[in-house]
Structure 1
Amino acid sequence: MIALFIVLIVVVFFLLIEVPVGFAFGIGALLYGYMSGTDISFHAGFGYTQISAFSLLAIPLFILSGTLMGASGISDRLLNFVNSFVGRTKGGLGAVTVITCAIFGAISGSASAAIAAIGKIMVPRMIREGYPPGHATALVAVSSVLALLIPPSIPMIVFAIAIRESVAKAFLSTMIPGILLAIIYCGLNFWFLRNNRTIVVQPKLPAQETVRQIAITGKQASLAILMPGIILGGIYSGIATPTEAGAVALVYTLFVGILIYRTLSWGNLFNSTVEAARLTGAIIMVLFFLFVMSRGMVLAKVPTQFADFLLSISDNRIVILLLINLLLLLMGMIIDDVSGSVLAAIILLPVTQSIGLDPIHFAGIVGVNLGLGNISPPCAPLLYMAGGVTKQPLSTYIGPTMKFLMLGHLPMVFLVTFIPELSLWLPSLLG
């Protein structure tokens, strides 16, 4: 138990001095092996077996399809379609950003891809039309988390493998919270901007012209809109596994981008493939060392000891759930969502089992809470990425971000924690 705390402190230290996440956990795995007196090579085979899982092939497939979507202009067509509904209202472009990030998440499963594809387009556009730069950047940052909550979700793939549960059910555990959060963010966006006088609102079109614009943009974006239905329909009908659905998503994106829209050049294809390979390599490296470290922890019964420690603080279910959420929030603040998913599965699953929490309900709690942590300082990887993409200083968007989080995301964490049906109802339909 003491070794675990020392290793976690060392890993956090290296993360805070900006050592790459994979190397930080690699050092942690080596240190834990040394402190526990076991040969690290004994656990390396387990790590290799875990990262060789067929289900993990979905990660590079969804990442690559997401990067290709941005490169081929599919995200532009989605934006134009959503904009035809609400773009000509005060704060409408903000709602367009939120909704498009949610749709994009139903295709790519990657928050970073959503920031890159949507943020680069929408933030400059919002600023040109009078939106406060900080508000625009914050909105992209918080909306990117919707890509982690609305299936397919890369962190939920990893989490399901780690706890040996159905990937499809883990996907659905965060779907209702994701949709509700999208609605809340749209409402907060309109509320925060209600008294803003700098926003330029385009004149409303006659009803007939509005319908015509919706029809035109809908036709242009139809193939992109069909994509979530094909992916999720294939998974939940039982026709395809999540990995096979990822392959379908990739082939579909290539077909649409190259042959139909003809916007995906060979140069963009090469650059997107390199970027996807870089992101996948970083994720797999982190997962390998986490699985290596987890093997040593399980053999040393560290998760059980940690569960006993938390239960010694209190045996009240509500108190334990609040402690679990606090630990998940701290994890999300320090490490990325994929790493946090594995650590939550390793360390906190025994605690949830001891209080009778359904594993799929726990998946919903993990997904929503880690999403909050990923845009909460000090580390906040998604928040800083949004600032980097939009070229805005932290001082301009940290305040608006915290308002969105405190009034939107944090209440959703409590709702998911204490209303299990939000995470369990859809998975229960799968039987």
Structure 2
Amino acid sequence: MTIFFLTIAIVVVLLLLEVPVGFSFGLGALFYGVLTGTDISFHAGYGYSQIGAFSLLALPLFVQAGTLMGTGGISERLLDFVNAFVGRTKGGLGAVTVLSCAMFGAISGSASAAIAAIGKIMVPRMIKEGYPEGHATALVAVSSVLALMIPPSIPMIVFAIATRQSVAKVFLATMLPGILLALVYCALNFWFLRKNNTIKVSPKLPLRDVGREIWGAGKRASLAIIMPFIILGGIYSGVATPTEAGAVALVYTLFVGFVIYRTMTIRNLFESSKDAAILTGSVIMVLFFLFILSRGMILAQIPNQFAELLLSISDNKIILLLIINMLLLLMGMIVDDVSGGVLAAIILMPVVQKIGIDPVHFAAIVGTNLGLGNISPPCAPLLYMAGGVTKLSLDKYIGPTMKFLLLGHLPMVFVVTFIPELSLWLPSLLD
């Protein structure tokens, strides 16, 4: 156990020194192998076999589809559709941002893609309409996490592979919590802006004109709106696996962008493919080293020893769940959501199994906690990415961000943890 904690400490220090995540885990795996006298090449084959899993092919497919949506006009049409419902109310653009991130997540499964596609459009628009810069930036940052919770979710695909659970059930575990969190963020957005008099609001329209506006926006965005139903319908009807659904999403996005909307160009395709390749490559490298490290730890019985350590602290299920939540939050603060999901699967799964937590319920706990951690300093990759859209310093938007997290996301963590039915009801329909 001493070597395990020392290895984790080294990885954390490297991450805090801003060493790329993949290299941090690679050096951690090398260090662990040297200290334990294990030949790392012995575990490399296992790592290679894991990243070669067919189900993991869904990752680059959904990433590519998500990056193309931003350049193919699909995200803008989604925004206009949502805006037709709530755009003419005070704080309406904020609600449009939240709901659009949720809808975008139902197509791409990538939080960073949501920030790139939605944030780059909505943040300038909100600021132009009188929204405080810090509020607009914070809202995009916290809403981007919805793309990780509403299926198809890339981190949940990886978690399902690492824990050998049904990808479809793991997807559904975070769906209801994601929808509820979106509604909470909308409510908080309206509440925070209720006394703000600088926001410009478009004049109200007669009910008939509102209906026409919604119909027109819905007609223009219809191909984008039905995309989540095609993807998720294919998965849960049994017609397609998540990997096949990812391929359908990519082909559909290309068809709509090139043939129907005609907003996509070969240059857009090249740039999007390059961005998707970089993101996918970095994730695969992280996973490769994590699987190598996990193999060594599993053979050394580290996860079981860690489970016994936690159980020696307390045998109270509530206390253990609080400890697990704290550990997951810390993981999310330090590493990205994909890495955190694999670490949770390796280190904490034996604990939750011994205290009788359903693995699918644990998937929801992991997804909700890591989402919170990814927008909580010190690392907070999604938070800093949102700040990059507005070029603001952290002190300008950290305050509004913490309000959203403490009043919205943190309570949802406890709801998901202690009301398992919220996460298990939809997956149970597949039985």
Instruction: Output the TM-score relative to the length of structure 1.
Output: 1.00
1:349 aligned residue: 349
* Deviation at residue 389 of structure 1 after TM alignment: 1.9
Superposed CA deviations along residues 86-143 of structure 1, whole A, max 9, x for unmatched, are 0000000000000000000000000000000000000000001100000000000000
Distance 2:219 2:289 in 1: 46
Partner of 2:218: 218
SS at match of 2:169: helix
Cα distance in 1 between the residues matched to 2:48 and 2:242: 21
Instruction: Please give the secondary structure, in 1, of the residue aligned with 2:90.
Output: coil
Distance between the aligned counterparts of 2:378 and 2:69, measured in 1?
31
Amino acid at match of 1:360: V
Partner of 1:122: 122
Question: What SS does the aligned partner of 2:48 have?
Answer: helix
Q: Report the alpha carbon displacement of residue 36 of structure 1 after superposing the two structures with TM.
A: 1.3
The equivalent residue for 2:336 is 336
Q: CA RMSD in A?
A: 0.5
The residue aligned with 2:203 is 203
1:372–1:410 Cα contact (<8 Å) kept = yes
Amino acid at match of 2:247: A
- Cα distance, 1:396 vs structure 2: 1.0
Partner of 1:262: 262
Per-residue deviation, 1:176:
0.3
Q: Match of 1:186?
A: 186
**Residue by residue, what CA displacement relative to the aligned partner does 1:23-53 show, whole Å, maximum 9, x if unpaired?**
0000001011111111000000000000000
- Segments of 5+ residues of structure 1 without an aligned counterpart are none
Tell me, in whole angstroms, the C-alpha distance in 2 between the residues paired with 1:56 and 1:392.
Answer: 36
The corresponding residue for 2:43 is 43
In the alignment, the residues of structure 2 paired with residue 357 and residue 170 of structure 1 have an alpha-carbon distance, to the nearest angstrom, of 14
The residue number in structure 2 matching 1:403 is 403
CA distance in 2, matches of 1:93, 1:369: 27
Equivalent runs, 1:388-427 vs 2, <5 Å: 388-427=388-427
SS of alignment partner, residue 392 of structure 1: coil
Q: CA deviation at 1:4?
A: 1.0
* TM norm structure 2: 1.00
- Between stretches 201-210 and 283-292, larger displacement belongs to 201-210
Q: Distance in 1 between matches of 2:164 and 2:22?
A: 23
Residues 141 and 375, structure 1, Cα contact 8 Å, conserved in 2: yes
Contact 1:91 1:189 in 2 (8 A): yes
Task: Tell me by how many angstroms 1:391 deviates.
Answer: 1.6
1:285 corresponds in structure 2 to 285
- In the alignment of these two chains, the number of paired residues is 431
The aligned runs of 1:368-383 (5 Å cut-off) are: 368-383=368-383
Structure-2 residue corresponding to 1:111: 111
Distance in 1 of aligned mates of 2:210 and 2:391: 34
Give the Cα separation in 2 of the matches to 1:6 and 1:65.
40
Kept after mapping to 2: 8 A contact 1:146/1:178? yes
1:393-425 CA distance string (max 9 Å, x none): 211110000000000000000000000001100
| Residue identity matched to 2:132 | P
For residues 132-147 of structure 1, the aligned pairs below 5 Å read: 132-147=132-147
Q: Deviations over 1:308-366 (max 9, x none)?
A: 00001101000000000000000000000000000000000000011010000000000
- After superposition, residues 142-153 of structure 1 pair within 5 angstroms as 142-153=142-153
Structure 2 distance, partners of 1:295, 1:85, is 51
Equivalent residue letter for 1:74: I
Question: Following TM superposition, by how much is the alpha carbon of 1:390 offset from its aligned partner in structure 2, in angstroms?
Answer: 2.3
> In the alignment, is the contact (CA less than 8 A) between 1:63 and 1:280 conserved in 2?
yes
Instruction: Answer whether contact 1:119 1:390 (CA < 8 A) is retained.
Output: no
Looking at structure 1, the residues matched to 174 and 390 of structure 2 have their Cα atoms a distance apart, in angstroms, of: 28
1:242 corresponds to: 242
CA contact (8 A) 1:119 1:140 kept: yes
Aligned AA (1:85): F
Tell me which residue corresponds to 2:175: 175
**Deviation of residue 392 (structure 1)?**
1.7
Structure 2 CA distance, aligned partners of 1:408 and 1:36? 44
Contact 1:155–1:341 (Cα < 8 Å) also in 2: yes
* Aligned-partner SS, 2:226: helix
In 2, the alpha carbon distance for the partners of 1:379 and 1:73 equals: 32
- Output the amino acid matched with 2:137: T
The one-letter code of the counterpart of 1:260 is: I
> What is the distance in 2 between the residues matched to 1:119 and 1:22?
27
SS at match of 2:221: helix
Provide the C-alpha distance between the structure 2 equivalents of 1:382 and 1:422, rounded to a whole number of angstroms: 26
- Is contact 1:82–1:99 with CA below 8 Å preserved after alignment? yes
In the alignment, the residues of structure 1 paired with residue 150 and residue 27 of structure 2 have an alpha-carbon distance, to the nearest angstrom, of 33
Amino acid at match of 2:216: I
CA distance in 1, matches of 2:61, 2:206: 43
Q: How far apart in 1 are the matches of 2:355 and 2:129?
A: 51
> Partner letter of residue 63 of structure 1?
V
Percent identity of the aligned residues? 76
Distance in 2 (CA, whole Å) between partners of 1:185 and 1:141 is 11
| 1:17 Cα offset (Å) | 1.0
Whether 1:89 and 2:89 are equivalent positions in the alignment is: yes
Deviations 1:168-201 (A, max 9, x none): 0000000000000000000000000000010011
Cα deviation for residue 73 of structure 1 reads 1.4
